[in-house]
Structure 1
Amino acid sequence: MELNWNLDDLYLGFDETYQNDLKRLDNLIKDSIKHLETKVKDDVLYIEGELKYSEEITKLGRTLGSFASLKASTDVTNNEALGYLSKLSEIYRQKTAAAVKFERYLTEVNLDQLAQKSELIKLYLYNLKKDQEHAKHLLSESEEVLYAKLSELSSRSWTQVQTLATANLMIDIDGKEHTFSDVRNYAYDKDQAFRKKAYEAELKAYEKVDDFVALALTNIKREVNTMNQIRGYHSAIEKTLDQSNMRKETLDAMIEAMMDYRPHFANYLKAKATYFGHEKGLPWYDMFAPVGSLNKTYTYDEAKDLVFNAFNSFSPKLGGFGKKSFDLNWIDVYPKKGKRGGAFCSNQPQIGQSRILLNFTGALDNVSTLAHELGHGYHGDIIKANAPLHWSYPMPLAETASIFCEAIMNDYLLKEVKDPNEKLSLLEMGLQGDTQVIIDILSRFMFESKVFESANRPISKHEMKKWMVDAQKEAYLDGLDHDNLHPYMWLVKGHYYSAGLNYYNFPYAFGLLFGKGLYAQYLKNKESFLQKYDDLLALTTKADAEEVAKSMGIDITSKAFWIDSLEMIKKDIDEVIRLFNEKK
């Protein structure tokens, strides 16, 4: 069985085919620029011409860029792959000035009227109106070109600093070196003494890199603040909401509901602390500790079978997608030196495929992660039928299908077990994930807000560690042992290190709660839900979040919706606490 992903359907290597496609992309962009720089004689033909070029650039550029980035993700020291990513950025930058000119031009036309004359403009009316709005925040053409060039040397380079620092970080435990990903996964080990030792070694190891990673984070956020001020955004969150196709009232309603439910999560954590013999809250190193009797380690084959059977119980279409992903070697399974940490799915709708990166060690949580990432892949399988400029979904809606597949997986496992101890294991594992996505996300949101507030100056690692701990105390309340928190969570999470994607934390909470709301609908009427669900996933690339939710009869601007979803989690909390109390 092949356990490394196969990228042959993208390219066999950085060979002649890759080089020819790179030249073809360069020529497409040059032709697009020529078209945009011609005098506009017919608005419809001018816009249609640009849309057609953009479709071709999207298809080819995604293939070229994905191959290079996927190669780099399994070997962050692959300078050839990194070099081609830089080359691609250089090719795309050629169009910066012309793209600015085009977006400014859009502010001068009536797109609704033009859409009546052109099916292509009507198809991409949502995109064009977003570009129209974005034009308000553009700099001059020469300034946009300059920033595009300089960002390659500034924020993008600082991003690479964090990636290299963590991917190549070897951590010593009892004289033996372990990879960063392995040590992070030891949090799920069944041996409490080993979990604590791994946690302490992890924190100690970050002292080797925290100075320059703190500098990287500071400089990225300072750049974001500077550029947002110049562009006329009031804050980073304003721009993020714009990128997310989501209204602030939706975010405010969700965050307010999450804050209200913190005491319930704290009660769960205190019950788990008691279960492990702690008297003042749960220490960080026991937060992911397995409970109950279902603490076996899964082989990858066992994980695949579980996921396939769970998906098939939802629909043969979802089960078939999972089987295809396994059979065609779309998944890179195990951790290794130089491979980036965590997990992700890279959708490739231009070839009707996806690629999934895991760092699988056999913990039950890894099975859930596999289901989660395959959910992203299924989302990609649905949107491959969309037009090329409708292949990308915004951050909050990106987590819809993945969280939904986690819910399917968890529900399937719960139906399979009869023993109360095994039920406790499964329910508590689900709560571990829910707590991360609701409460830890709150702490990350608070921390990032604090960094943005202060990023008009250099920020020391000491301040970052303090702010991270402060945020954890505020989010987790008394659920955790305040003497055993994780001051380096800002160094661990790669989501902080992108100048283009800020606040990549609340979308996970959105995805969890929106996904749970959808799953509740599915349980009420399974047959009618299935087709509507695929339609919803297809809509995520071409409508605002509020409109997508409305298609299923949901009002996400209402706090009541988020409370209903949180109540579903509270039922699990109450049941887990009951099962914990039976163990006393």
Structure 2
Amino acid sequence: MNGYHAWARLYDKISGEITGDFEEAGKVEKLSVGQLQNKFNSPDRSIRQRAFAKLEEAWNSRAILAASALNYQGGFRLSLYKNRNWKSPLHEPLRMNRLQEKTLNAMWKAVATTLPAMKKYIEAKKKLLGIDKFCWYDQFAPVGKFEAQFGFEDAGNLVIRHLASFSDEMAEFSRMALDNRWVEGEDRPGKADGGYCTSFSLLKQSRIFMTYANDFGSMATLAHELGHAYHQWVMKDIPYLATEYPMGLAETASIFNELRVTDAALKEVTDPQQKLMLLDQMLQQPFILFCNLYARFQFERSFYAERQKGALSRARLDELMVAAQKEAFAGILDPVEGHHRLFWASKLHFFYTEAPFYNFPYTFGYLFAGGVYERALREGKAFAPKYRALLRDTGSMTTEEVAKKHLGVNLTKDEFWRAAVSNSVRRVDEFCALVNSTM
């Protein structure tokens, strides 16, 4: 309970105790900060707006404590780096992700080229939502409807069918995992939403825990988690120490599966509202990863640069966060009301002591997986054994080595990343055209 990691535990305690009174449907409830954030998914903008105000109010009451925790944690980290003669705060996260800084810079450079497409997407979404100003709490606002229900068994069969069109082994593995009840998906009280996959190396098995809700999102989550399980499965006969893959490569198989299922669903739907929802989901992900995540990255860079000179005040942390959001979103967020100045306090990832810069690996993982998926689309089933071999090497190679050996690409150069970001936003024009046709 003592030392460096205690600051993360202190943050957990602070965030766990904060609540806000929230009124909805004539009833006032005391909600946690997590529950308030979940309101950002509401189709009702007044609910999103009020939840955001309550969230800022709640964190404002603990901002001084959160600032102290962040400063002390950051100061310890910088002192440790100095004693180890690590020149940059990025040294540790790059090392943990087996990644060169040149690769990271090439990725962010390519991401910056998507801003015009992201602005076009958000302008169309604003039109659909009937709003003039786009604010922080509008990022997850849902559009379209996908009312079709997918029972757990039906969803599993659909995932298997779509995977079989690429790899018989992936389909057979998913069938085995479902038949052997490796997936615990019951919807019951006390379970959180989302999904999680964990492996048991001695048993050479995995288990997936999720709350299945009979909707498309749950089916996508099932596909995602089965991807994680498949990644672990193909490494089951490898020595344990060669199975520990970095965070940037950990999402390769899961995002691959998710893309497979979402692409297939998009081809099959004919209802405009269903198509709107799917397209929005496909574009919302890169929007968050390219803008929201980049703001987090920029904030941390600025924070560590200034923390080397001394502790930062709560007000200065607010300023750095707003500046990072202005740079990352490049005018997409309303300049007066659109920013989340206390995001540095409300986002748990800034307080992780196990992994600094817990942001860029998400963007990297999404784009790398997308690049692998595009290769699979071009080569078809012939790519399946290459894909399997790629996954097996993720625990014993650097990220650049994996890409060079199995994809023949140099991640330190722009070419791969420009293609990856271009593919990730290729649906923007389709989304905009569909929005215009439904107005």
Give the TM bin, normalised by the shorter chain: 0.7 to 0.9
SS in 1 for 2:303: helix
* Match 2:428 to one of 569, 573, 577: 573
Q: CA deviation at 1:346?
A: 3.2
Q: Is the 8 A contact 1:399 1:507 kept in 2?
A: no
For residues 132-171 of structure 1, the aligned pairs below 5 Å read: 153-167=2-16, 169-171=18-20
| Residue 534 (str. 1) matches residue 388 (str. 2) | yes
- Cα gap change, 1:556 to 1:388, in 2 (>3 Å): same
Higher mean alpha-carbon deviation, 504-513 vs 308-317, is at 308-317
Mapped to 1, the partners of 2:187 and 2:326 lie a distance apart of 34
TM superposition score normalised by structure 2: 0.87
Larger of the two Rg values belongs to structure: 1
Aligned to 1:447: 299
Partner of 2:58: 205
Task: Pick the structure with more helix per residue.
Answer: 1
Q: What whole-Å deviation, never above 9, does each CA across 1:467-514 have from its counterpart, x for those lacking one?
A: 222211211112222312323333343332233411121111111111
Between 498-507 and 302-311, report the one with greater CA deviation.
Answer: 302-311
Asked if structure 2 preserves the Cα contact closer than 8 Å seen for 1:244 and 1:395, the reply is: yes
Q: Name the SS for the 1:459 alignment partner.
A: coil
Q: Return 5+ residue gaps in structure 2 as ranges.
A: none
Provide the residue aligned with 1:525 in structure 2: 379
Answer 1 or 2: higher relative contact order, Cα 8 Å, separation at least 6: 2
Residue 549 of structure 1 pairs with residue 382 of structure 2: no
Over aligned residues, Cα RMSD in angstroms? 2.9
Distance 1:441 1:535, change over 3 A: same
Structure 1 residues 455, 351: closer, same or farther in 2, change over 3 A? farther
Correspondent of 1:172 among 21, 31, 34: 21
- The one-letter code of the counterpart of 2:315 is H
1:374 aligned partner, one-letter code: L
CA contact 1:167–1:340 (8 Å) conserved in 2 = no
Unaligned runs of 5+ in 1: 1-151
Report the alpha carbon displacement of residue 310 of structure 1 after superposing the two structures with TM: 4.2
Q: Map 1:51-450 onto structure 2 (within 5 A).
A: 153-167=2-16, 169-174=18-23, 175-280=28-133, 282-294=134-146, 307-323=159-175, 325=177, 328=181, 330-331=183-184, 344-356=196-208, 358=210, 365=217, 367-450=219-302
Secondary structure of the corresponding residue to residue 532 of structure 1: helix
Task: Tell me which moved more, 529-538 or 152-161.
Answer: 152-161
Question: CA deviation digits over 1:298-348, x for unaligned, max 9?
Answer: 7777765654554455434334444555553554776977x8897543333
1:564 to 406, 411, 419: 419
State, as a whole percentage, how many aligned pairs show the same letter.
Answer: 31
- Cα pair distance change 1:189/1:245, threshold 3 Å: same
Q: Deviations over 1:4-61 (max 9, x none)?
A: xxxxxxxxxxxxxxxxxxxxxxxxxxxxxxxxxxxxxxxxxxxxxxxxxxxxxxxxxx
Letter in 2 for 1:409: V
Q: Number of paired residues?
A: 431
CA distance in 1, matches of 2:149, 2:20: 23
Answer yes or no: is the 8 Å Cα contact 1:325–1:331 preserved in 2. Answer: no
- Aligned with 1:505 (options 359, 372, 387): 359
Letter in 2 for 1:401: A
Q: Name the SS for the 1:214 alignment partner.
A: helix
Alpha-carbon shift at residue 538 of structure 1 (Å)? 0.7
The 1:194–1:224 alpha-carbon spacing in structure 2 relative to 1, beyond 3 Å, is same
Q: In 2 relative to 1, CA 485–254 (structure 1 residues): closer, same or farther, beyond 3 Å?
A: same
Q: Contact between 2:368 and 2:420, CA under 8 Å: does it hold in 1?
A: yes
CA offset at residue 400 of structure 1?
A: 1.6
Whether the 8 Å CA contact 1:468–1:487 is kept in 2: the answer is yes
Partners of 2:63 and 2:314 within 8 A in 1? yes
Q: 1:188 to 1:413 in 2, by over 3 A?
A: farther
Look up the SS of the partner of 1:288 in the other structure: coil
Tell me the SS of whatever aligns to 2:407: coil
